[in-house]
Amino acid sequence: MIDRQHLAILREVSRRGSVTAAAEKLNVTQSALSHTVAKFEERHGIKIWMKTGRGLRLTQTGEYLLSVAERVLPQMEHAERVLNDFAVGRRGALRVGMECHPCQRWLSRIATPYLTRWPDVDFDVRTAFRFDGVEALLGYEIDLLITPDPVEATDLIFTPVFDYELVLMVHESHPLASRASVQPQDLIDEELITVPVTLERLDIYTQFLVPAHCRPRQHRTAETIDLMLQLVCAGRGVTVLPDWLLNEDAAGLPIRALRLGEAGIEKSINLGVRRGEEAISYIDGFLKLASEMGRSPLP
């Protein structure tokens, strides 16, 4: 029989890299944890991991059980939260995940009225996932995903909330500032500032630079939108952000916005939920509120 304790042990050892750290997280002694694993291995006639020097390496069996743990445990934890909500009389819990940095600014305009309308719903926001936002949604780590990149998935529904355009932001004295638009070749000599994600998740690369076989002279990252704008204002580089941020965050700054290519790069913020859960009252309430507010200015 496989129970939750065995899966939890395997997940924590994988996450923390050692039996000692996993035991501390699970509030058991190292010897007790090792004994539990040994009994499990003996009962099923398997080995979960092998010692390699001072570390551990999962066997094929261990890798399989880890994949089971990463699928099953989040769903069990989700079910426990729901039961607890019922027990204490709370309507439910909405865990919102975000896959884009500017989405945080957009969410700030939705959070306050939502919390006012749904005071008995526990509201949480997460930006870090073990894999990616879609996997987190499918794995019950979150209940709603805010993303500019919806996917086709039979178990998910994505609803566009509002459209926007990605634009290049440069200092008003920059040589490109007088232009209405730029081409990929115009960025070859530039220092490009982006959010800290992989290049595969940056539209400026996937939809603009890479198809034209171009790269900027230098690429650096900044943790916040404010820092990105400050660097542009200081003439330290150029950046790409949604056009609506120009009016809300860059108003009054010496910054100009230029279209990326003649047609521009059009995007939209989408809200993803698990199919069938869009009718849950507090999830439906968030979707409707987001659609109502759309691109309304930040307060």
Question: What is the torsion angle, in degrees rounded to the nearest 10, for the CA atoms of residue 111, residue 112, residue 114 and residue 120?
Answer: 110
Q: What is the pLDDT of the chain when averaged over all its residues?
A: 89
Complete DSSP assignment for 150-209: ----TTEEEEEEEEEEEEEEEETTSTTTT-SEE-GGGGTTSEEEE-SS-GGG-HIIIIII
pLDDT digits (tens, 9 = 90+) for 198-238: 898 899 999 999 999 999 999 999 988 889 999 999 999 99
Backbone CA torsion sign across 293, 296, 298, 299: negative
Residue 88 pLDDT level (bands cut at 50, 70, 90) = low
pTM score of the predicted model: 0.68
φ, ψ of residue 79 to 5 degrees: the values are -65, -40
Q: How far apart, in whole angstroms, are the C-alpha atoms of residue 158 and residue 152? A: 9
Tokens of 274: 């698990």
pLDDT digits (tens, 9 = 90+) for 94-130: 999 988 777 887 888 899 999 999 988 889 998 765 5
Question: What is the torsion angle, in degrees rounded to the nearest 10, for the CA atoms of residue 114, residue 115, residue 121 and residue 126?
Answer: 80
- Average pLDDT rounded to a whole number, residues 15-37: 92
Predicted confidence (pLDDT) at residue 290 exceeds the cutoff of 90:
yes
Listed in sequence order, the residues at least 6 apart from 119 whose beta carbon sits closer than 8 Å to its beta carbon are none
Q: How far apart, in whole angstroms, are the C-alpha atoms of residue 241 and residue 154? A: 31
Task: Please tell me whether residue 133 adopts helix, strand or coil conformation.
Answer: helix
* Half-sphere exposure at residue 90, Cβ-oriented, CA atoms within 13 angstroms: 14
More confident position, 257 or 244: 257
pLDDT digits (tens, 9 = 90+) for 166-200: 999 999 999 999 999 999 999 999 999 998 888 98
Question: What pLDDT is attached to residue 17?
Answer: 86
Predicted confidence (pLDDT) at residue 298 exceeds the cutoff of 50:
no
Question: What pLDDT is attached to residue 215?
Answer: 95
pLDDT digits (tens, 9 = 90+) for 8-21: 999 999 998 889 99
Question: What pLDDT is attached to residue 129?
Answer: 55
Predicted confidence (pLDDT) at residue 40 exceeds the cutoff of 90:
yes
* Cβ count near 75 (within 10 Å): 12
Which residue type occupies 190? Answer: E
- Average pLDDT rounded to a whole number, residues 42-51: 92
Predicted confidence (pLDDT) at residue 299 exceeds the cutoff of 50:
no
**By C-alpha distance, which of 134, 128, 167 is closest to 149?**
134
